[in-house]
A and B are shown apart, each in its own frame.
Chain A
Amino acid sequence: MADVHCPMCGKPNPEEQDSCQFCGARLKPLTGATPVDSQPIRAGEKPTKRPTSEFEKVKPADEGPIHAGEEPTRKNTGELERSLPSWLKSLRKGEEPPQAESPADASPDLNLPAESQPTPSAESSAESLDWLAGLGSAAAEDEEEVPDWMAGLRGASAPGLEPEAPTPAEPEQAQPEQDWMSRLGGEAGQPPADSPEQTVESAPDWLSRLSQEAEKPQPAETAEAPAGEPQEEPAAPEENLPDWLDALKSKSTVSEEPSPGSGNDLPDWLSGTPVAPAETDAAAAPVFTSEPPPARDAPTEVPDWLSQLQSDVRAASDAEEQAEEFEPAAGPFPADKSGEPIPDWLSRVDQTAPPAASAPALVMSDEGESPVEPSQAAFSLETPDWLSKLRPDRSAETQGSPEEEAEPENLETADLPSWVQAMRPVESVISETGPSAPDDAGATEDSGPLAGLRGVLPSNPGLGTMRKPPAYAIKLQVSDNQQRYAAHLEKMVLEEGRARGLTPARLTSNRVWRWIISIILIAAVLLPLVSGRQFTPDMKLLPSEWSNTSTVLNEFPADAPILLVFDYDPALSGELEASAAPVIDHVLFLGARLGLVSTAPTGPALAEQFLESTQPYHLETGLQYTNLGYLAGGPAGILSFATDPVAAARLTVDGDPAWETTALQGVSKLSDFAAVIILTDNADNGRIWIEQTRAFIGETPILMIISAQAEPMIRPYDDSGQIQGMVTGLVGGKTYEQSYAAPGLARRYWDSFGLGALAAEIMIAVGGVLGAIMAWRARKQAGEEA
């Protein structure tokens, strides 16, 4: 049973295994190479646009362009296996298992230039090696474990380059078909003949050997050219040759004595390839050229393009040393961090090559100059699919590499083949397809943190038009008000921090003034009472409501029951007694019977006190009155009394049946009273009596004897006719008394009332004016202090 070698670890696995039993990598690709990718691009053919979707399928999902300063990430190239071309797969299947030769062992033997900086002199060579540069860069930067098939590829090319017999064939001796290689090297400005030894040293033998093997059908021609060269060079010991190389030598009839290192360089799968002469020609020739096979007279020669490559590398190394002071930012690839050995041939080749983004590998310009044509011929070879799959990685990684900074700006624009265009960054495609940007918009930063980035900063300093900044005055513009406010604020702050002295408290407190006012008022009130003199004349202007009250009272029949409501507080008893005394006196002189009731708890006592103090004469002559006492419930009590007075007040204050008394005989309801006289100092009480009794009182008139303070609220009822008469305060009582012509309590109070009111008016007026002046002065003083 044939074993299948793992593409990742290189270990043999049974053929029926789908995945490696050692590393788990997939052994059988899920999909093969796309037919489109397998089509080679030959010289003279127009590249066709290919859909990039195929590339995207192979491209890892997390793959993205690496910008300047970013760390490269490890990439799994195992997925690229499925994109290998069929010819490469067939080669791999026929190869022998690797002979435990690790890439680390082979890489030190590489003799490629260690470092190189792209210089303008190496443009053409850099362009031609761009596709290899991507490969080398990917290997160098990723620093991941290289699969065996890749290691075998490198191992076949790396070792034994130095001892290999040089190929002294000069460019002039090459066949016309191989001029593209010589011209490719000639673009670098250094003819390969100048440094033949360098070419021999740096050219990979496996490539030269492949070319030799391609010439096997003409052994006579190929044996001539390198005949003398190996004699000059120190021959490598033959004991280093592996067996498979010995077998190769035995099969080769015209091959020279192999160089010591050539046997170690070639991998088995490559060494096995030339064993079959008929097949090797058919398989190897299309790999490197699509043109008819070149001249076979110098089969052992190193191809000119490879020798030119070495010369370019040398020249680039020299130029780098000279240009170090000019390109401080340029340096080797930043992928040497993991410490894994990097094949020098890959790193050198890659560093030699200019960045792919700046110098496209394939210049397909139709109007290209003559130096470009050889490169076109060189890259008309069939491009391996696996290399095309590697290209995006490389292009992405080299996009932000410092080497891009050294890109010469004078490179002409060239048409790219479709597979290269598909690998180009999106930004470059957009810049090409989009409207042409200004020339200065694509300026590449060559220093600083933005080094290598194009078009990040505007070419012109500043974002807008250059304008002289306006001149601003340094002096603070402060208005007069602002200065004044600032001065006030400063003064306030200073005063806050200043200690204030204690000012002696003024002795004239409010209490003194109150005593003074009280003494004046008391003196004014007592003066008429004490002196017995009349200071105020009688009223000449009688109130209008007085006549209505007098008219109602005069219409009472004799011995009519009158209901007196005492709904005032003891505090205002003086005013109301003086107001009601002349009216009640008038009623009693008419022979009326009185029923007393009150909605205030103190009302019955006030009623008794009122009669005793104001009507002593009538009491002595047999006044008939009945004190019904207190009506609880407020409005409800009034309503109840209005609805059914007998039920609401059954007993007198003495506990006797109220409605059986002489004063209330013939009265069973509210309308049976001849009149209802309400004495109140509260407008609400008067309003409730009017409202609650209106529906039950019938034609019985309602008279109101009220305090002066209740006048505004009761007067609307008088104006609307809901009450038939009203006596207001001491003035009303004095008026009624004056019209009744019997001086009484109102007269005694009248002088005191007049003098007291006058004293109060004078004090209020004088005090008010003085107070206003003092307040005005205080404000003025405060304003001045502020």
Chain B
Amino acid sequence: MKLKGLFSTAVAVLCGLVVLAGYFVRLDILVNASNTLITWAILLTAFAILLGIINLLIVHVGKITRKQKGGFYSIILIFAMLATFAIGLLAPHFPPASPAFDFAFRAVQLPVEASLMALLAVTLTYASIRLPRRRLSVFSVIFIITGLLVLLGTAPLPFLGDTPLVSDTLRPTIAQVLAASGARGILIGVALGALATGLRVLFGADRPYGGK
């Protein structure tokens, strides 16, 4: 291991130990050091988002200059991004820009994303109809029956309200027992994985920051 890798590993291990110690030992020096390190991490994350935006801009500018397919949409994207960015920068300091910024969000972004979610409802319905025809198997039948029971137990029937035996028994059993059991298993796995990853980073076994 070179000196550079050794130094980076030592820095990473030290930062992790300090933040970890800040959880358990409430010393001011440790808490301040931990908060400082966390703040640095937040700044780096925010800057990473900015770098991502700049990278997206460069990619689409490249598509326009190379006259690739879909270049027109790249022009719209760049224009919208730069306009929104400019309005966002001006909004805190220029009051007339604030309503424009709100309008851009409420009139464009919010309806677009909601519409995409509505399309998802149509797509899921269509996929559920096509599933038995495309792949008729036991698991396909189970999947469809489960979906129908959850929908039937969740949504009230017109003029009937709750569906007996489904709304009070089947639907809660599926959602709170079967699904929750699977979710617990997933969460335990995630926790163990995070623990193992953290320990490996602390011990220097994993070096996602570089070095071998």
Contacts and interface: CB of A to CB of B under 8 A. Distances in A.
Interface stretch (B60-68, B73-81, B115-123, B195-203): B115-123
A95 to B, nearest CB: 95
Given A713-B186, A757-B154, A774-B133, A569 B148 contact: no
Contact of A755 (B23, B105, B158, B160): B158
Contacts of B144: 764, 768
B3 interface: no
Contacts of B159: 535-537
Contacts of A633: 38, 41-43, 45-46
A602 B111 CA distance: 13
B136 A608 contact: no
Contact of A643 (B34, B117, B152): B34
B34 A715 contact: no
Contacts of A639: 38
Given A655-B93, A695-B23, A768-B144, A712 B161 contact: no
Nearest to B120: A571
A278 interface: no
B102 A608 contact: yes
Interface residues of B, number: 65
Interface in B152-207: 152, 154-162, 167-168, 175-176, 179-180, 182-184, 186-187
Contact of A647 (B35, B167, B187): B35
A711 interface: yes
A570 interface: yes
Interface in B17-64: 22-23, 31, 34-35, 38-39, 41-43, 45-46, 49
B45 A757 contact: no
A715 B183 CA distance: 9
Contact of A760 (B133, B134, B151): B151
A761 to B, nearest CB: 5
Contacts of B162: 539-541
Interface string A742-784: 0000000011011111101101111111111011100100000
Contacts of B186: 713
A711 B102 CA distance: 31
A521 B155 CA distance: 14
Interface stretch (A58-66, A77-85, A510-518, A558-566): A510-518
Nearest to A708: B154
A668 to B, nearest CB: 14
A15 interface: no
Interface string A629-647: 0011110110110011001
B129 A653 contact: no
Contacts of A637: 42, 45
Contact of B117 (A572, A758, A765): A572
A416 B187 CA distance: 101
A632 B49 contact: yes
Contacts of A769: 132
A553 interface: no
Contacts of B49: 601, 632
A105 interface: no
A382 B160 CA distance: 138
Interface in A4-53: none
A764 B105 contact: no
A758 B157 contact: yes
B132 A636 contact: no
A571 B41 contact: no
Contact of B35 (A640, A711, A713, A753): A640
Given A540-B162, A644-B35, A771 B46 contact: no
A454 interface: no
Contacts of A764: 125, 128-129, 144, 147-148
A754 B152 CA distance: 9
A716 interface: yes
Nearest to B141: A772
B45 A570 contact: no
A108 interface: no
Contacts of B42: 631-633, 636-637, 640, 648
A609 interface: yes
A751 B194 CA distance: 43
Contacts of B168: 541
A636 B38 contact: yes
B41 A754 contact: no
Interface in A612-665: 631-634, 636-637, 639-640, 643-644, 647-648, 653-655
A716 B93 contact: no
A453 to B, nearest CB: 74
A132 B44 CA distance: 113
B209 interface: no
B1 interface: no
Nearest to A545: B176
A10 to B, nearest CB: 88
13 contacts: A517-B129, A539-B162, A569-B113, A573-B110, A609-B106, A640-B39, A712-B183, A715-B179, A760-B125, A760-B151, A761-B152, A769-B132, A775-B132
Interface of A: 510, 513-514, 517-518, 521, 535-541, 569-574, 601-602, 605-606, 608-609, 631-634, 636-637, 639-640, 643-644, 647-648, 653-655, 683, 687, 695, 708, 711-713, 715-716, 719, 729, 731, 750-751, 753-758, 760-761, 763-772, 774-776, 779
Interface of B: 22-23, 31, 34-35, 38-39, 41-43, 45-46, 49, 92-93, 101-102, 105-106, 109-110, 112-114, 116-117, 121-123, 125-126, 128-134, 136, 141, 144, 147-148, 151-152, 154-162, 167-168, 175-176, 179-180, 182-184, 186-187
